[in-house]
Amino acid sequence: MNKLLEVKNVVKKFGGLTAINNFSLEVYKNEMIGLIGPNGAGKTTCLNIITAFLKPNSGKILFEEKDITNLSSNKKACKGIVRTFQANNVFKDMTVRENILIGLNNSEGVGFWTPIYTFFGKNQTATLDYKVDQIIKTMSLDEYRNIRAGSLPHGFQRLLGIAVALTTRPKLLLLDEPFTGMITEESELLVSIIKKLRKEREISIIMVEHNMKAVMELCDRIVVLNFGSKIAEGIPIEIQNNKDVIDAYLGIDEGEKV
Q: Which tens digit of pLDDT belongs to each residue from 128-164?
A: 888 999 999 999 999 999 999 999 999 999 999 999 9
Which H or E run contains 254?
Answer: helix 251-257
Please, what CATH class does the domain formed by 1-80+171-258 belong to? alpha beta
Mean pLDDT computed over 6-15? 97
CA distance 59 to 57: 7
Q: What 3-state DSSP class applies to 19?
A: strand
Q: Alpha helices of 139-250 — where are they, by DSSP H? A: 154-166, 184-200, 212-218, 236-240, 243-245
Residue (of 39, 35, 14, 40) closest to 23 by Cα position: 35
CA distance 4 to 20: 21
Q: Which tens digit of pLDDT belongs to each residue from 176-200?
A: 999 999 999 999 999 999 999 999 9
What does the pLDDT read at residue 86? Answer: 86
Q: Which tens digit of pLDDT belongs to each residue from 198-220?
A: 999 889 999 999 999 999 999 99
Which H or E run contains 256?
Answer: helix 251-257
Return mean pLDDT, the chain.
90
Q: Report residue 40: phi and psi, to 5°.
A: 85, 10
Name which residue leads in pLDDT, 88 or 22: 22
Name which residue leads in pLDDT, 246 or 117: 246
Mean pLDDT computed over 103-114? 60
CA distance 70 to 33: 23
| Cβ–Cβ < 8 Å for 209, 178 | yes
What does the pLDDT read at residue 195? Answer: 97
* Number of neighbouring beta carbons within 10 Å of residue 200: 10
Residue (of 157, 164, 217) closest to 191 by Cα position: 217
Residue type, 91: F
pTM above 0.85, yes or no: yes
Mean pLDDT computed over 89-109? 86
Domain ranges of the chain: 1-80+171-258, 91-169
Q: Give yes or no for residue 67 having a pLDDT over 70.
A: yes
Q: Alpha helices of 93-210 — where are they, by DSSP H? A: 96-107, 116-119, 122-138, 154-166, 184-200
What does the pLDDT read at residue 237? Answer: 96
What does the pLDDT read at residue 257? Answer: 44
Name which residue leads in pLDDT, 203 or 105: 203
Mean pLDDT computed over 93-101? 95
Query: Which sign does the torsion angle of CA 169, 170, 173, 175 carry?
Result: negative
| Cβ–Cβ < 8 Å for 5, 63 | yes
Mean pLDDT computed over 228-250? 94
What does the pLDDT read at residue 190? Answer: 98
CA distance 197 to 77: 19
Largest CA distance in the chain: 60
Percent of the chain with pLDDT over 70: 89
Cβ contacts of 43 within 8 Å, gap of 6 or more:
35, 36, 37, 208, 225
Phi/psi-derived region of residue 135, left when phi > 0, alpha when psi is between -120 and 50, beta in every other case: alpha
Of the candidate ranges 86-90, 107-111, 200-204, 245-249, the one whose mean pLDDT is the lowest: 107-111
